[in-house]
């Protein structure tokens, strides 16, 4: 199974965002609460929009 490179994805989980960056889960959660990262909710899952996350990291 091949996986899509992180920067080419549309969405990711908070854990995947932690693995990609040096940010903690708590920091990412606070950024979501402060609306600095765009997310969508599917059922009970909250997914991060990767372009929004990369913008926060300054990697646009």
Q: How many domains in the chain?
A: 1
pLDDT digits over 32-52, tens only? 999 999 999 999 999 999 999
Residue 14 within a domain: yes
Instruction: Give the per-residue pLDDT at 52.
Output: 97
Residue 2 within a domain: no
Residue 1 within a domain: no
Residue 3 within a domain: no
Which of the four pLDDT bands, split at 50, 70 and 90, describes residue 59?
confident
Instruction: Give the per-residue pLDDT at 54.
Output: 97
Tokens 């708590």 correspond to what residue?
26
* Neighbour tally for 24: CB within 10 Å: 10
Q: What is the helix (H) or strand (E) element at residue 52, kind and residue range?
A: helix 50-57
What does the DSSP 8-state code read for residue 19? H
Residue 34 within a domain: yes
Residue 24 within a domain: yes
| Entry pTM | 0.88
Instruction: Give the per-residue pLDDT at 1.
Output: 63
Residue 16 within a domain: yes
Its domain, for residue 42, covers 8-57
Backbone angles phi, psi at 3, to 5 degrees: -110, 150
């Amino acid at each position: 199974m091949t996986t899509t490179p992180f920067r080419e994805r549309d969405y990711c989980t908070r854990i995947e965002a932690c693995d990609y960056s040096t940010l903690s889960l708590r920091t990412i959660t606070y950024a979501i609460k402060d609306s600095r990262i765009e997310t969508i909710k599917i059922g009970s899952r909250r997914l991060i929009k990767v372009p929004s996350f990369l913008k926060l990291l300054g990697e646009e």
